Amino acid sequence: MTVVFAFLCLLLLPVIAEDSTRGGTRRRNDFVVNVDAFGAVGDGVADDTQAFLGAWQQACSSPKSVFLVPEGQRYRVNATKFVGPCTDTIVIQIDGTVVAPDDPQSWDPRDQRAWLAFHNLSMAAFQGNGVIDGSGSKWWAASCKKNKTNPCRAAPTAFTIESSSSIRVKGLTIQNGQQINFAVSRSDSVRVTGLKVTSPEDSPNTDGIHISESTKVLLQNCKIGTGDDCISIVSASSSIRMKNIYCGPGHGISIGSIGKNNSTGRVEKGGSGFVRSVRYQRVTMENVSNPIIIDQFYCDSPTACQNQTSAVEISRIMFQDITGTSRTKEAIKFACSDTVPCTDIYLKDINLQGEDAKVETFCNSVSGSQLGFVQPSAECLSASNSSTTTIREGEEVWATENHLSTIISDEEPPGFTNS
Ligand SMILES: *[C@@H]1O[C@H](CO)[C@@H](O)[C@H](O)[C@H]1NC(C)=O
Ligand SMILES: *[C@@H]1O[C@H](CO)[C@@H](O)[C@H](O)[C@H]1NC(C)=O
Ligand SMILES: *[C@@H]1O[C@H](CO)[C@@H](O)[C@H](O)[C@H]1NC(C)=O
Ligand SMILES: *[C@@H]1O[C@H](CO)[C@@H](O)[C@H](O)[C@H]1NC(C)=O
Ligand SMILES: *[C@@H]1O[C@H](CO)[C@@H](O)[C@H](O)[C@H]1NC(C)=O
Ligand SMILES: *[C@@H]1O[C@H](CO)[C@@H](O)[C@H](O)[C@H]1NC(C)=O
Ligand SMILES: *[C@@H]1O[C@H](CO)[C@@H](O)[C@H](O)[C@H]1NC(C)=O
Ligand SMILES: *[C@@H]1O[C@H](CO)[C@@H](O)[C@H](O)[C@H]1NC(C)=O
């Protein structure tokens, strides 16, 4: 009898201690679900995958919850899908470090596309001072770009937000991605502020932020230094706005690259689709390859790519207030296909200098115009055709401002609490 009673007490104690809620505590109006309460060890060695999944299930099915990764700890988590929809708004508070297992051999060979992937969420906020670390070094060494004898295989994207809407990401650090560091895919209304992304300059295909099939995305006050594109935007994306971005080292801000199929596993070769209404504003580049690049021919596969028969249709792109240094001669490169020209491409107040040599602008099959001071000059933009609309100084180019106002405003989206 005593034994049974003691056993019951043991079962009940943690529940009472945690404010009559299973595996969580209530803080103000939020229901906080700490991964530690689900058995996470946080020593960087133990496998904390199950604890994260358990905590996710609890948090996602509770109203006004906070999924908490506490600070000062290092949690090792396998490739995991965190799937919504959740009952209510959810805050993913990452204050500690989440690390991936570093050995590619230990990954499930059937699913090597993503490490931490959040699917089908609505009204979710990712925030905190924590670090998401893909531990990518062994993946980089196994890349065919590092060693031609290696087979070309896609490596995981470290952090993915997919098929989601009304998402806020604030303040996190994402580093050492196995391949792409942060992907926003098939999502709308995504606001990313104060994000830091770092991967070594010689790590292959480690794009900073990769946006595909998404609309209404705002990136603001981000610092990105990787081995590949700072920010890349591909098929079926529109109303993207970037403001106060620092890029370097790495490549520039790229639009429409195709033929990355085997390396980043994201874009179909010869993939069709569109990218439109994108505005870059106040971007600083330091020692970056092709700081501004639109490339419909881009192909980094080890075997030669065929010329594309169809390409991503690219229009209404504004580059404004872009300054810094280019590592390559072509500081600005618009390589558009003859079958699908790029239209309405605008440059305004650009100052890109070479590290030591003169830099230039390359144009193929592109139309648009330049305003204000543009260095290197891009006469080739307006020269290629005069049929498209020209804009005057000070004129707003397109109406994405309105569409974006909801995510651009400094007010927090409804339902979110600051912490
Ligand atoms: C995504 O969530 C919506 C509800 O928000 C649901 O109807 C749909 O089935 C979910 N899709 C997937 C693939 O889980
Ligand atoms: C995490 O990966 C390791 C190595 O493959 C495996 O032994 C372990 O079972 C995985 N954990 C979970 C919860 O699947
Ligand atoms: C490339 O990989 C092969 C086979 O794994 C290995 O023998 C060779 O030493 C590697 N080369 C370099 C430069 O690392
Ligand atoms: C891409 O990978 C596939 C297998 O995934 C392979 O058959 C194909 O030859 C590769 N293409 C290139 C251009 O490397
Ligand atoms: C590359 O694209 C082709 C079709 O476009 C697809 O069948 C193949 O699975 C892709 N390969 C990789 C590695 O993503
Ligand atoms: C720019 O990058 C190149 C290649 O990594 C490097 O050799 C050079 O020193 C860098 N220049 C500056 C000014 O950082
Ligand atoms: C592909 O098209 C480009 C631009 O028109 C041309 O310079 C290049 O030679 C072509 N490549 C092949 C393999 O046809
Ligand atoms: C430029 O105009 C010519 C003739 O009007 C047209 O055939 C061509 O496709 C246009 N090129 C671009 C880049 O718009």
Q: Judge if 320 and 227 occupy the same domain.
A: no
Q: Judge if 390 and 343 occupy the same domain.
A: yes
Domain finish residue from 254, 286, 320? 254
Q: Classify residue 292: in a domain, yes or no.
A: yes
Tell me the pTM. 0.80
**Omega cis (within 30) before 101:** no
Task: Give residue-wise pLDDT tens across range 48-92.
Answer: 999 999 999 999 999 999 999 999 999 999 999 999 999 999 999
Q: Judge if 121 and 8 occupy the same domain.
A: yes
Contact 331, 352 (CB under 8 A): yes
Reading the block at residue 184, the tokens are 């926003």
Cα-to-centroid distance, 301 and ligand 4 (Å): 9
Ordered alpha helix ranges (H), 328-390 = 379-383
For the cut 90, the answer to whether the pLDDT of residue 410 exceeds it is no
DSSP state of 346: E
HSE-up (13 A, CA, CB side) for residue 272: 4
Q: Judge if 207 and 290 occupy the same domain.
A: no
SS3 assignment, position 383: helix
Q: How far apart are the first and last CA of the chain?
A: 46
Paired sense of beta strands 25-27 and 30-34, if any: antiparallel
Task: Give residue-wise pLDDT tens across range 140-182.
Answer: 998 888 888 888 778 999 999 999 999 999 999 999 999 999 9
List the Cα angle 179/317/188 in 5-degree steps: 60
Q: Looking at the 3D structure of the chain, how many domains does it have? A: 2
Ligand 3, atom 4: closest residue by C-alpha: 149
User: CA-CA distance, 135 to 158, in Å (whole number)?
Assistant: 9
User: CA-CA distance, 245 to 131, in Å (whole number)?
Assistant: 19
Closest atom of ligand 5 to CA, residue 270? 5
Closest-CA residue to 281 (of 307, 230, 245)? 245
Nearest ligand for residue 365 CA: 8
Ligand 8 proximity of 384 Cβ (cutoff 6 Å) = yes
Which pLDDT does position 144 carry in this prediction? 83
Residue 306 makes CB contacts below 8 A (sequence gap 6+) with: 270
Which pLDDT does position 150 carry in this prediction? 83
Q: Judge if 188 and 57 occupy the same domain.
A: yes
Average pLDDT over residues 230-245: 90
Average pLDDT over residues 190-199: 96
Which pLDDT does position 52 carry in this prediction? 98
Least confident among 83-92, 98-107, 295-304: 295-304
Ordered alpha helix ranges (H), 33-178 = 49-60, 137-141
Reading the block at residue 59, the tokens are 């948090």
Domain finish residue from 191, 222, 254? 254
List, by residue number, the catalytic residues. 251
Q: Classify residue 343: in a domain, yes or no.
A: yes
* Confidence label for 29 from pLDDT (cuts 50, 70 and 90): low
Q: Judge if 218 and 276 occupy the same domain.
A: no
User: CA-CA distance, 14 to 11, in Å (whole number)?
Assistant: 7
* Confidence label for 311 from pLDDT (cuts 50, 70 and 90): low
Reading the block at residue 179, the tokens are 């391949």
Ligand 3 proximity of 147 Cβ (cutoff 6 Å) = yes
SS3 assignment, position 396: coil
Q: Which helix (H) or strand (E) holds 408?
A: helix 400-408
Nearest ligand for residue 119 CA: 1
Q: Can you name the residues that pair with 149 across neighbouring β-strands?
A: none
Q: Judge if 2 and 116 occupy the same domain.
A: yes
Domain finish residue from 254, 286, 312? 254
Contact 407, 191 (CB under 8 A): yes
Closest-CA residue to 136 (of 156, 160, 108, 118)? 156
Q: Judge if 220 and 260 occupy the same domain.
A: no
Q: Could you tell me which residue, 216 or 309, shows the higher pLDDT?
A: 216
Contact 37, 23 (CB under 8 A): yes
Average pLDDT over residues 124-143: 94
Q: Judge if 261 and 250 occupy the same domain.
A: no
The CATH number linked to 94 is 2.160.20.10
Q: Can you name the residues that pair with 278 across neighbouring β-strands?
A: 240, 317
DSSP string, 280-305: EEEEEEEEEEEEEEEESS----SSPP
Ligand 7 proximity of 339 Cβ (cutoff 6 Å) = no
For the cut 60, the answer to whether the pLDDT of residue 18 exceeds it is no
Spell 134-145 as b/e; 16+ CB within 10 A means b: bbbeebbebbbb
Cα-to-centroid distance, 257 and ligand 5 (Å): 15
Q: Judge if 240 and 380 occupy the same domain.
A: no
310 by Cβ neighbours in 10 Å (0-12 / 13-18 / 19+) ranks as middle
User: CA-CA distance, 152 to 112, in Å (whole number)?
Assistant: 13
Average pLDDT over residues 329-358: 89
List the Cα angle 341/342/345 in 5-degree steps: 150
**Residue ranges making up the domain that contains 391:** 256-410
Reading the block at residue 395, the tokens are 């004129």
Q: Classify residue 68: in a domain, yes or no.
A: yes
